[in-house]
Each structure stands twice: as C-alpha cells, then as structure tokens.
C-alpha cells in the first residue's frame, strides 16, 4: 500500500496545480530536487570537476540503482540525456545488412520511425509494420509470420504516447529470440509505471526517459545494452570517454555500455535521476503500477459519463495514459483552458504516432495521466471542470 499522504507531502508540486500528466513530465519528489540542488551547490562551492570527484561513489551508484530497477547489471547501463538519444545509440549501432527488414508496430513513436526512414534510405532497408490485432495490440501471429532470415531488428514501442496501449513486449521478445533477431524496446512510457525486467522481456536493448513516470528531472534517460552485445557493438559515434585513444592510430572501446556515453554530462541531473529511481524502488513498482491503473480506470469511468467525450484507448488492459477526444472541440483549446484553471493535462498530435492515428482517423487527442501521488478527488475535479467547458 502506498502512503498517499506521505508521497504527497514529499512532492512540492502538490497544491500548485492539479497535475495529471505523468506521461509528459511528472512532478519530482523532494529527494530528487534536493539531490540536484545539493550537487549544483557543491559545484558552485568547490568547482564542477571537484564536485564530481568528491561524489564519484554516489554517481556510480546511479548505474547500480538503474540496473537493479530493471533486472540488469550496472555494466549494461548507459546514462543518457533523454530516451531518444538512448534509443538512437542502439539503433544506429546495429549492423543491418542492405536488403534487410526492420519490423515495427503500428503505434511506433515518431522519433523512432523517422530514424527507420533515414536508415532505410541510407542503408537500403525496408520497414515492415506488423499489424495490430482487433484490440489494437501488436498481432503476435502476424509478427511470427513476418519473421525470416532477412529481418535485421524488431523495434517496437511498449507503451505508446497515446492510446493507453500496452504492447505484449515480453511475447515479442520470445519471438525475436526464437528467430535470433535483435530486439530493441522503447520503454519510455513504461519506466516508472510498471515493472521492467529485461530478462523476462528478452530484449537486447531498452531505452527510457527519466522525467515521465520515474519522476526524475528533465534531460535524463538511460539505455540498457545486453551483456552479449558488449563484445561487438560499435557505437555510431564515439569520443575519448567511450573509447580511449590508446595509440596514434588506435582507440579501445570501453567494455561496458558506457561506451555509448560521452565525456561531459550533467552530474546534478544524474544525481536527481538516481534519487528518482531509489524513490520509486522504495515505494515499490508493483504498488505504483496498481495505483496508477486504479486512478486511470477511475478517470476512464468518469470521462465515459461525460456526453461528447470519446475514449480512444486500445488494448486488453489499458495503462495509466487515458486518451480521449471531445466531439466538435479541438484538443489544444481544451488543454489550454484546463491549464488556465490549474489542471495540467496533455495533448498528443497525429504526427507522434502517425500510423495508428491515420489508421483510426484520430484528431489530436487529449491525455490525462495520473500518477500514484494523485487522488480520485483530483481526477473528479479535472473531469468535472472539463465537462463544464464542453457544455
């Protein structure tokens, strides 16, 4: 059980607004803010390099925290400035032979899809979108049929930016593994919302951000690289941190996932990222998952009773992201009016998940995404206010 009063007391943002956008950038707990501020103060007092040297054990612990949170080893973690950079490091490093196919899903995120398009053009690859089943989840039978010797990578999004969807990521992992195909999983919106176990998922690479359900600061993310790849995977770009310059004509890659990192970083934000992971672990990811789902289901129920609201979620068990549209009123206008009245909710534009949006003929959607620090009363108040804007 989560001590809701305590987590609300730990969250400075409670009381400033009714924040219901954990899938955008969640409210940070105080321990995260304190970690960032105290490292920044140390930098101000003794200098940036000196602060890093003094805090190097704590900085190392962030890798262990992150690894522990997803069932990996610290060697398999690279800390990044966001999920996109993390994902791109894995994707652009993957050796893909000309003529090979990229298998992805209908709900794939824009950042990933434009990278598919670029590599397809540059390296003569084809992109094949595995269709969704009648509930909107990636169709596993269709994925199995699409497999073949010419598949270079399976790259899908676990929890898309809208649609409440949770793709069957572990089942996809089993299929990819059975065919010996590398599996790159975008877990950006899953991290901090549900349990991530890279062994169970069977993924080779996994990327996520810090600022969403993990409640870390903006400008943080991470990449998991399965140990088996660390012998061979050459990053698409390197510097002298990821690869030491050992002779005039030679460099040596680090033997861990940090070969994807570069020399300069925001150590204050990293400290905050580590504090966020520790805070989530202290509360317990299964408790978090349960409460996020409970509040999201409550939001769906309340919204379903408002005339003119159309729920747009997909999948057998929709997650914490509640997507909907309002007949005859633009999403941006509603989100703007909600913000003016102290309710932070979000929108999701067609170009974020173009394939799914076009298939379903969706407009820009609204998103309500409660976190465990929210209450049913806050959801009620937001839906009541939204209803007053419509009618």
Ligand X SMILES: Cc1ncc(COP(=O)(O)O)c(C=O)c1O
Interface residue list for ligand X (CB under 6 A): 82-84, 109, 111, 157, 160-161, 186, 188-189, 209, 221
Q: Are strands 221-225 and 77-80 parallel, antiparallel or unpaired?
A: antiparallel
User: Taking the complex as a whole, how short is the minimal distance between the CB of residue 109 and ligand X, in angstroms?
Assistant: 4
- Read off the tokens for 4: 């809701």
- Tell me whether residue 186 or residue 278 sits nearer to ligand X (CB atom): 186
Nearer to ligand X by Cβ, of 110 and 294: the residue is 110
Spatial distance between the Cα atoms of 286 and 60, rounded to a whole number of angstroms: 26
C-alpha R_g of the chain: 21
Residues forming a β-bridge with 310: 325
Any idea which residue has 């005339």 for tokens? 307
CB 249 to ligand X: min, Å: 36
Q: Which is nearer to ligand X, 101 or 211 (CB)?
A: 211
Please report how close the Cβ of residue 207 comes to ligand X at its closest, in angstroms.
7
**Least distance to ligand X, CB of residue 110, Å:** 8
Pairing verdict, β 151-157 and 346-348: unpaired
Nearest Cα residue to 287 out of 209, 372, 190? 372
Looking at beta carbons only, is 213 or 324 nearer to ligand X? Answer: 213
Nearest distance, CB of residue 24 and ligand X, angstroms: 8
Q: Residue with structure tokens 């993957």? A: 94
User: Closer to ligand X at the Cβ: 10 or 204?
Assistant: 204
Distance, in Å, from the CA atom of 316 to the CA atom of 62, rounded to the nearest integer, reads 35
**What is d(CA 77, CA 80) in angstroms, rounded to the nearest whole number?**
10
* Least spacing, CB of residue 3 vs ligand X, in Å: 29
Q: Could you give the C-alpha distances from 137 to 76, 108, 382, in angstroms and in order?
A: 29, 12, 29
Using the minimum distance from each CB to ligand X, give the nearer residue, 217 or 302: 217
- Written as six digits, the tokens of 68 are 């522990």
């Amino acid at each position: 059980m989560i001590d809701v009063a305590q987590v609300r007391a730990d969250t400075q943002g409670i009381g400033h607004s009714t924040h219901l956008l954990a899938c955008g950038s969640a409210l940070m707990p105080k321990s995260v803010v304190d970690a960032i501020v105290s490292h920044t103060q140390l930098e101000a007092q003794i200098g940036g390099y000196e602060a890093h040297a003094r805090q190097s054990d704590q900085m190392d612990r962030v890798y262990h925290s992150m690894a522990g949170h997803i069932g990996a080893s610290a060697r398999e973690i690279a800390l990044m400035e966001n999920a996109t950079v993390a994902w791109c490091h894995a994707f652009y490093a993957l050796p893909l032979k000309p003529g090979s196919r990229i298998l992805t899903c209908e709900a794939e995120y824009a950042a990933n899809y434009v990278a598919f398009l670029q590599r397809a053009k540059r390296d003569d690859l084809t992109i094949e979108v595995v269709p969704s089943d009648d509930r909107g989840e990636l169709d596993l039978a269709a994925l199995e049929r699409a497999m073949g010797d010419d598949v270079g990578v399976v790259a899908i999004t676990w929890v898309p930016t809208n649609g409440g969807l949770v793709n069957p990521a572990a089942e996809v992992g089993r299929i990819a593994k059975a065919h010996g195909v590398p599996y790159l999983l975008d877990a950006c919106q899953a991290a901090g919302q549900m349990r991530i176990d890279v062994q169970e998922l069977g993924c080779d690479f996994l990327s996520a951000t810090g600022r969403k359900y993990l409640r870390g600061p903006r400008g943080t993310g991470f990449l998991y690289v399965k140990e088996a790849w660390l012998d061979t995977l050459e990053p698409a770009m390197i510097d002298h941190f990821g690869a030491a310059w050992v002779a005039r004509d030679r460099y040596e890659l680090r033997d861990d996932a940090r070969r994807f990192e570069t020399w300069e970083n925001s150590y204050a934000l990293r400290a905050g990222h580590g504090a966020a992971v520790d805070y989530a672990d202290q509360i317990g990811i299964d408790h978090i998952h349960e409460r996020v789902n409970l509040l999201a289901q409550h939001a769906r129920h309340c919204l379903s009773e408002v005339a003119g609201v159309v729920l747009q979620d997909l999948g057998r068990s929709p997650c914490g992201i509640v997507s909907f549209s309002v007949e005859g009123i633009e999403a941006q206008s509603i989100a703007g009016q909600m913000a003016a009245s102290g309710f932070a909710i979000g929108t999701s534009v067609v170009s974020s998940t173009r394939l799914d949006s076009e298939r379903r003929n969706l407009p820009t959607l609204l998103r309500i995404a409660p976190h465990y620090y929210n209450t049913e009363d806050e959801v009620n108040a937001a839906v009541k206010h939204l209803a007053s804007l419509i009618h």
